[in-house]
Amino acid sequence: MSNIVIIGTQWGDEGKGKIVDLLAEYADVVVRFQGGNNAGHTMVVNGEQFISHLVPSGILQKKICLIGNGMVVDPAVLVEEMDYLISKGIQVGPENLKISERAQMIMPYHKQVDNAREKMKGDKKIGTTGRGIGPAYEDKATRRGVRFVDLLEPETFREKVSTILDEKNFYLRNYLSAETLDMEPILEQYAKYAERLAPHVSNISVTIQQATKAEKQVLFEGAQGTHLDIDHGTYPYVTSSNTVAGNACCGSGVGPKDISGVIGIVKAYTTRVGEGPFPSELFDEIGD
């Protein structure tokens, strides 16, 4: 199989999960490289349907699953997914689920800002999921983001949260007219996440390089679709990350030479969710 990138070629929901499930059987490592819990992949766990938003689908087939540095991760959602899988008898431990120490964390203020902004826009909203994805990527670009490596250093984490929370609360209160947040509950909750997730945090680019050198097969699992790419999509009605195949390298820490091929998934009956232009949309009874 070699090292393959799976991407959607439209606006998402193309059925990437089915192909990922099929190819994961032949892979040794499965990597998520962009997005966050704004994506969903339906899996069947012991006859019960389960939608994974963060954990790579290879976890069901006992593959090494990696969450790349290109992702923004809500620790609460990740822990919830891990607990669900464990409750169903699926092995989820540091040996088979690893999180890049450079991955950005979604914080409570990201979700607060996301929802307050969308509410303020009214009819001009872009259709965000309200899960803090965009604001988290904003903080990454402006070098104010909180990464998983910071979660391992309590004093560093406190200092970063304290600094940025003052700014976020000013913005929430004075511009968005929204409720502000207290720091101590955030620190207490994330300390619990740190205890749970610290064993999973590592340099996943090294893991991928080691797998490649050992001639193991790596599957890169994309989310959303090409037309939702922040640069190449129907801007501004797009997601906040690069969804195209090239980001598999940037979002996981490998070079282009480590990618053997790309598979683009196409859905015969095209759909899109949220706001934005939709060329070829049918407005008759067939489209409805």
71, 121, 165, 200 from 178: Cα distances, Å: 27, 14, 14, 35
Q: What angle do CA 68, 95, 6 make, to 5 degrees?
A: 35
Please name which of 71, 158, 143, 255 lies closest in space to residue 56, comparing C-alpha atoms. 71
Strand partners, 263: 6
The DSSP output letter for 14 is S
Catalytic positions are 13, 41
Q: E strands within 60-157?
A: 64-67, 72-73, 97-100, 104-105
CB proximity list for 2: less than 8 A, separation 6 or greater: 217, 260, 261
Do β-strands 64-67 and 201-202 pair in parallel, antiparallel, or remain unpaired?
unpaired
Contacts of 5 (CB under 8 A, 6+ apart): 220, 222, 245, 248, 259, 261, 262, 263
* CA–CA dist 11, 8 (Å, integer): 7
188 sits in the region (left: phi over 0; alpha: psi -120 to 50; else beta) called: alpha
CB 89 within 8 A of CB 121: no
